Structure 1
């Protein structure tokens, strides 16, 4: 099993994004995803900027995938999506079924991202017939479910989001803008002020969710590091780290080196993997 670095989920300034991928280029991480997956209003980087970073990573010997929006709503977003599909160099991670349809029309191979709901082998086989090269399992599914898929000896790679805040849902409305009394059309890209999202709590002050623009994330960080030996036995091809800081590069390198005890987040969960409530932490 190998390790990958997923796309940035948060709205960072351009220098921070460039510094992150420059560090990734110097790392030993073999597979790196990049691109805006949450909101097209985050215009800190343009398509040309992402393409230049992708070329930097490729020249450093990395396998590079351009990740696309999980929610395509407008003609401008569709035009941007077509630019990504027509890049001519890099594989695409499709996070919306519209993107899958376009990739199929263009006969382009693609990675099926975690935002697309694939819950049975029949849908996965159909995706594979359309050009899916790799399947990133939806975060709410379990190891038991995945085992039944792998038993079918699929002809595509399997990737699991093993560490990071879980992308749970996307909405046409922007929760961060609403929190600040702004509407989505005039949001002032306020999510840039929250580089790790906005933590939402229950009335009892228990962490519940993390608001990241139009995306809702888990409050706790998914941590499946203890499951790595089991994943290897199961036949998982890639363990994905979803980055939330520059330190995520060094953290992923530590995993590659076999280090499993590096402390990163105090509030963690692994419930979905164990087929129970996602926010729970099982020690089984």
Structure 2
């Protein structure tokens, strides 16, 4: 099993981003995804900054992938996407179909990110024909669904042509909207948001009327309120999954990575906290559910 560090979902000060990736360079992750995937107004780091970090991580022996935005809203967003997709030095994670079209035209192999709706073998085969080399499964799919896709007639004989990555830890990215929910929660319009996301380095929690932690709002992105944790599912992934993705957080990301790596070396059931963690989607049950021990 290989481990990846997904792109930072939140808006952090530049200093925190650089410090985070200095730690990543010394960590046990194999793959690091870089770039802004949520909101184009978040400009603490420029393109040259991301490329500098990418070069440093490459020198540290990490595979670096540059991630694109999941929702493009303006012509300038598209121009930035075109510039990114012309970067041949690093592989690109495409999070919308526009990126896939640009990468196919350029003839660059790419990663299909979890924001792309791909739910069957036929779609996966089409993406493979366009240049896909790695597929990050949509977060709401289960182990059984994944198994059915990989064993489907359309893709079964092509399994050795791409790798499979599964989002395995963190607040699940559930949806994107043209509205900024963080600004709205502060009674601000999106155009006058004052970049308020930077005040919430792990997103802003939204509770139901009964006090349940239902969602985390992160600008235009809605995330699950509880953290998805598949640390106990590594054995059930054998033969299906090549890479487990850890989603960055400001505080304990590298402790989590160590826990996943140690779990793979010495498998044992790790008790999860049902008030904070879930794994329902992997078991094809309600997403907010924490299933029991998995084989």
Aligned-pair CA distance for 1:126 = 0.3
The alpha-carbon distance between structure 1 residues 203 and 37, as it changes in their structure 2 partners (threshold 3 A), is same
CA contact (8 A) 1:251 1:262 kept: no
CA contact (8 A) 2:274 2:290 kept: no
Choose 37-46 or 153-162, whichever is displaced more.
153-162
CA contact (8 A) 2:121 2:150 kept: no
Aligned-pair CA distance for 1:184 = 1.2
TM-score, normalised with respect to structure 2 = 0.92
Distance 1:77 1:246 in 2: 30
Residue 116 of structure 2 corresponds to residue 107 of structure 1 = no
Give the corresponding residue for 2:254: 249
Distance 1:276 1:235 in 2: 19
Match of 1:184 among 178, 190, 195: 190
Distance 1:66 1:78 in 2: 16
The alpha-carbon distance between structure 1 residues 262 and 195, as it changes in their structure 2 partners (threshold 3 A), is farther
Distance 2:66 2:164 in 1: 17
CA contact (8 A) 2:38 2:219 kept: yes
Which string of whole-angstrom CA distances, capped at 9 and with x for unpartnered residues, describes residues 102-136 of structure 1? Answer: 11111111100000100000000000000000000
Aligned-partner SS, 1:159: strand
Alignment of 1:27-106 (within 5 A): 27-106=27-106
Distance 2:25 2:273 in 1: 22
Distance 1:218 1:60 in 2: 33
Distance 1:19 1:10 in 2: 15
Give the corresponding residue for 2:11: 11
Aligned-partner SS, 2:234: helix
CA contact (8 A) 1:211 1:217 kept: yes
Which string of whole-angstrom CA distances, capped at 9 and with x for unpartnered residues, describes residues 2-25 of structure 1? Answer: 111111100000000000001101
Alignment of 1:58-207 (within 5 A): 58-151=58-151, 152-153=156-157, 154=159, 155-207=161-213
Distance 1:215 1:142 in 2: 22
Aligned-partner SS, 1:118: coil
Distance 2:249 2:69 in 1: 18
Aligned-partner SS, 1:61: coil
Distance 2:78 2:254 in 1: 31
Distance 1:264 1:35 in 2: 31
CA contact (8 A) 1:104 1:130 kept: yes
Aligned-pair CA distance for 1:83 = 1.7
Residue 276 of structure 2 corresponds to residue 267 of structure 1 = yes
Aligned-pair CA distance for 1:263 = 7.6
The alpha-carbon distance between structure 1 residues 82 and 246, as it changes in their structure 2 partners (threshold 3 A), is farther
Q: CA RMSD of the aligned region, Å?
A: 1.6
Aligned-pair CA distance for 1:181 = 1.4
Aligned-pair CA distance for 1:250 = 3.4
Choose 142-151 or 53-62, whichever is displaced more.
142-151
Distance 2:185 2:83 in 1: 33
Choose 165-174 or 252-261, whichever is displaced more.
252-261
Distance 1:253 1:78 in 2: 37
TM-score, normalised with respect to structure 1 = 0.95
Distance 2:164 2:100 in 1: 17
Residue 258 of structure 2 corresponds to residue 240 of structure 1 = no
Match of 1:228 among 222, 228, 234: 234
Distance 1:92 1:223 in 2: 26
